[in-house]
Amino acid sequence: KRRVLTGITTTGTPHLGNYVGAIRPAIEASRDANNESFYFLADLHALIKCHEPQRVQESRREIAATWLALGLDTDNAVFYRQSDVPEITELTWLLTCVCAKGLMNRAHAYKAAVQENEADSSADPDKGITMGLFSYPILMAADILMFNATDVPVGRDQIQHIEMARDVAQRFNHIYQGQFFKLPEARIEESVAVLNGLDGRKMSKSYNNTIPLFEPEKKLLKLIRKIKTNSLEPGEPKETEGCTLFQIWQAFADEGQVADMRLRYENGIGWGEMKNELFELVNSQIQAPRARYVELMNDMGYVEEVMKKGAEKARDHASPLMAQLRKAVGFGAFV
């Protein structure tokens, strides 16, 4: 059996990028009887970027309700909050102690933060960088290795982290001479590996260019109308390559609809018309889950129950491995 695992950081409202890059493929994978699925709210990760408890809490609720509204069947998948599984934090420390600092120096998120500081030559290169940000990939490795995941469906931005998890796993296995961890692989949905946002850059909470997945209909239309385009007029042929509208179309349409739209680009579809069509397409697919989402958000009792059960199941998997690891590093009982 393949073991599929993925998580979403709980710092914002889930957006179309999270949906097509991670949630949709993950839910599909959970329906395949050959898979065991582990999906979680990465709330420990949230503290790296966000020190506002209310925002973290609100985001945890939203992300939990989103997965359930989209039809995640928690009989098929273990669905949990990372912070409900203390074994993950414990494993993070064991991994931290075998992980070379040099490996973390190369992590994109950390490097980007340093570069930003260096652009301002008067700034300390470490300004605003916490140890949480620096060692973030180790926490993520623990998420994955704790459950011996084989497949990690993520957007392209996360590939480096999966590679680091493999490195750390190998190092641990080597030092403590055992096959404690399997080596995980990233699973990338190529067509939508990076969905772009309103301004044409990668759709991201940190760029403030996202389209929230369950935005009310009117707001969704408004946001889609805001997506940046070039100034070609209706009737002028248009490029599909590099066009954010077309890219989102591709992420939601079937093959026939994609081919059809390609033709209409060649024939000079107007941006206004394209935006209306895109809205119709996306809206038709998220209408029903959106209604369910609103229901769940208005009564979190059910969601809380689901999360508690998920935590139990997750710990049932994590604690035997953790016991084995504790022994392996020299923490066995005295008698």
Which of 9, 30, 148, 244: binder of ligand TYM (CB under 6 A)?
9
Q: Taking the complex as a whole, how short is the minimal distance between the CB of residue 140 and ligand TYM, in angstroms?
A: 4
| DSSP conformation class of 228 | -
Q: Taking the complex as a whole, how short is the minimal distance between the CB of residue 280 and ligand TYM, in angstroms?
A: 22
Sheet containing 77-81, strands listed edge to edge, beginning at the edge strand earlier in sequence: 77-81, 35-42, 2-9, 151-153, 185-187
Q: Residue 155 interacts with ligand TYM (CB under 6 A)?
A: yes
**Is residue 11 a known part of a binding site?**
yes
Which of 21, 212, 289, 310: binder of ligand TYM (CB under 6 A)?
21
Whether residue 293 contacts residue 67, with contact meaning beta carbons closer than 8 Å, is answered with: no
Distance of CA 150 to the CA centre of its chain: 17
Judged by CB under 6 A, the stretch of 171-179, 196-204, 282-290, 319-327 that binds ligand TYM is: 196-204
Which of 104, 145, 203, 220: binder of ligand TYM (CB under 6 A)?
203
Choose between 74 and 158: whose C-beta lies nearer to ligand TYM: 158
Q: Residue 35 interacts with ligand TYM (CB under 6 A)?
A: no
Distance CA 41, CA 265 (A): 39
Q: Taking the complex as a whole, how short is the minimal distance between the CB of residue 143 and ligand TYM, in angstroms?
A: 4
Closest CA to 150 of 261, 303, 38: 38
Beta strand 35-42 pairing with 2-9:
parallel
Place of tokens 């000079």: 268
Alpha helix ranges (H) inside 97-192 = 101-105, 108-119, 131-134, 136-145, 159-175
- Residues that bind ligand TYM (rule: CB under 6 A) add up to a total of 25
Distance of CA 212 to the CA centre of its chain: 14
Query: What is the x/- site pattern for ligand TYM, positions 101-140, by CB under 6 A?
Result: ---------------------------------------x
Q: Residue 292 interacts with ligand TYM (CB under 6 A)?
A: no
Long-range contacts of 324-333 (CB under 8 A, 24+ apart): 324/180, 325/91, 325/94, 325/180, 328/176, 328/178, 328/180, 329/94, 329/176
Q: Taking the complex as a whole, how short is the minimal distance between the CB of residue 66 and ligand TYM, in angstroms?
A: 11
Q: Residue 182 interacts with ligand TYM (CB under 6 A)?
A: no
Which of 152, 224, 245, 286: binder of ligand TYM (CB under 6 A)?
152
Distance CA 62, CA 253 (A): 26
Numbered residues of the known binding site: 9-11, 17-18, 143, 155-157, 195, 202-206
In the complex, which residues of this chain contact ligand TYM (CB under 6 A)? 5-9, 17-18, 21-22, 42, 45, 140, 143-144, 152, 154-155, 157-158, 192, 194-195, 202-204
Task: List binding-site positions for ATP.
Answer: 9-11, 17-18, 155-157, 195, 202-206
